[in-house]
Structure 1
Amino acid sequence: MTESAVSVAAAALVVAGWELAARAGIIAPQFLPSPSRVVIALWTMLTEQNLVWHVVVSTTRVWIAFLLAAALAIPIGIMMSSYRIVGAALEPMIDFIRYLPVPALVPLSIIWFGVGEETKIFLLWLGTFFQLVLLVADDMRRVPHEFVEVARTVGASSRQVMTDVALRWMGPTLIDNLRITLGWCWTYLIIAEIVAADSGIGYVIWTARRFVKTPEVMAGVVVIGLIGLITDQLLRLLHRRLFRYL
């Protein structure tokens, strides 16, 4: 049996057990509705509540924040590991900020940016950048020093050492770290979209929670999980195609 078949069988077993437990009344439906009720709620949300629009809005917010975080974290992380003075100046501050709980910074974010899109993107960026920059710095530190010395010996410039040695070495782990931190970015979506939002999956989930519409809450959670699963598999495929030699 292939790995894919095992994954599908395991997921089907979990869903079947969940359905049986819900139908047997072991778990009250207001706490955990059956998968069939979640599917019905999901269909209703797709056909009557513009769920696709909310998905597009949330996905756009996540990708804007994630790409902005990656665009800043990759060069800063490389500089932190390449130049000791940069690492000494930035790493303590980054370590301090990355341990701050993002929900605690929501009031400050509103004061700084108001209640528009900037606040939502900032909160998503905040939960991603400070984690990613340290991962990139660690990847850069793992580049074998002897590779750099050999490149210098044959006359490679600093730019060539960076592009032809360092980035090629750290490429596989960099893609993996981007994939992981993209998942982290999605985990902050609910926090970002409860800030005066009127669109997005987080807004849909939060609104359903207020009216104790548990099937709709679960449907929103399932949608986020499916988006994450699809995105993760696409990034895994990209990883395999870029680094066939691994």
Structure 2
Amino acid sequence: MDEPLPERGKRPAQGRSKTLRTALGGLFAFRGRSSPTVEVGVSVLAAAIVLGLWEAASRAGWIAPQFLPSPSAVLGALWTMTTEQSLGYHIAVSTGRVWAAFLLAAAMAIPIGILMSSYRIVGAALEPMIDFIRYLPVPALVPLSIIWFGVGETTKIFLLWLGTFFQLVLLVADDMRRVPHEYVEVARTVGANSRQLMWDVALRSMGPTLLDNLRITLGWCWTYLIIAEIVAASSGIGYVIWQARRFVKTPEVMAGVVVIGLIGLVTDQLLRLLHRRFFRYL
């Protein structure tokens, strides 16, 4: 007799259940893999738990609102700042400053870092100075930057650039040093010149880590925003936070901090997508 046919819809349901178990199991395995949907769900759940506990602690009176307002109070302040205080304009101004400084730092750091690792005379000449300057605290250089550039936009962009360039250039140099020497030897064997070694071998090999380092240093650039925008500023998220601090408007201070965090989160995720788009083989 013929075998009875399986019930319709039974196998797909079993397949989905098995896929879900595999995805959840990957979350707890060492260097395990999971689906992006499951990871997003876990991220949202974790954030909801933290916000829920924060809100409950605030409503129970365990946290003084003048020190740490509740998420609902921060959300209300964010709405008021958006509708009545031109928060969107300040966000646009700060974003423009950060990207101007970051792109300038990247445009300078990438070629300089590559040259530092490729030619020892360049590395010997520049690396000690860069190591010295990158340990200088940016806030301590605010008075000098005002003396050099005044209190205009140049000073703000310079401070953001200062906090980014000297870190990024050494990361780029390290990326260049990690290019396997075998790649260079094989390229020279087939007749590649210095320009081809740079463009077709080195840059292609260091591309994934270079993009990761750009993503990391962009986050560092945002961390210097408050320092840059307290220098005679009349616009920007840092200016908004600083003004709210003066009048002890803690919900508005927290709202400004949350905005910076959200901008950073969105930007970071977009750069991650870009990384996966260009380096699918990793």
Shorter-chain-normalised TM-score: which range? over 0.9
Distance 1:189 1:24 in 2: 34
Instruction: Determine if the alignment matches structure 1 residue 107 to structure 2 residue 147.
Output: no
2:253 is the counterpart of 1:217:
yes
Distance in 1 between residues matched to 2:117 and 2:197, nearest whole Å:
14
Which of 157-166 and 181-190 deviates more? 157-166
Q: 1:63 aligns with which of 86, 89, 99?
A: 99
Specify the alignment match of 1:83 in structure 2. Answer: 119
Cα distance in 2, alignment partners of residues 55 and 64 from structure 1: 14
Task: Tell me the distance in 2 between the aligned counterparts of 1:47 and 1:210.
Answer: 21
Residue 191 of structure 2 corresponds to residue 155 of structure 1: yes
1:7 correspondence with 2:43: yes
The CA distance in 1 between the partners of 2:195 and 2:279, in whole Å, is 22
Q: Which amino acid aligns with 1:133?
A: V
SS in 2 for 1:156: coil
1:238 aligns with 2:238: no
1:152-231 superposed matches below 5 A: 152-231=188-267
Instruction: Write out per-residue CA displacement over residues 157-201 of structure 1, whole angstroms, 9 at most, x where no aligned residue.
Output: 111111111001000000000000000000000000000000000
152-161 or 135-144: which moved more? 152-161
For 1:44, the equivalent position in structure 2 comes to 80
Which residue pairs with 1:126 in the alignment? Answer: 162
Amino acid aligned to 1:199: S
Aligned residue identity for 1:12: A
1:48-101 C-alpha deviation (Å, 9 max, x unpaired): 000000000000000000000000000000000001011011000000000000
Q: CA RMSD in A?
A: 0.5
How far did 1:4 drift?
0.8
Partner in structure 1 of residue 55 of structure 2: 19
Distance in 1, matches of 2:173 and 2:57, equals 47
**TM-score when scaled to structure 1?**
0.99
Which structure is higher in RCO with an 8 Å CA cutoff and minimum separation 6?
Answer: 1
State the percentage of identical aligned residues: 85
Runs of 4 or more consecutive aligned structure 1 residues displaced over 4 Å after TM superposition: none
Q: Does residue 97 in structure 1 map to residue 133 in structure 2? A: yes
CA distance in 2, matches of 1:21, 1:206: 26
2-side partners of 1:134 and 1:117: how far apart?
A: 27
Aligned counterpart, 2:6: none
SS in structure 2 at match of 1:184: helix
Greater Rg, structure 1 or structure 2?
2
Structure 2: runs of 5 or more not aligned? 1-23, 25-37
- Give the secondary-structure state (helix, strand or coil) at the position aligned to 1:164: helix
Q: Equivalents in 2 of 1:94, 1:160: separation in Å?
A: 28
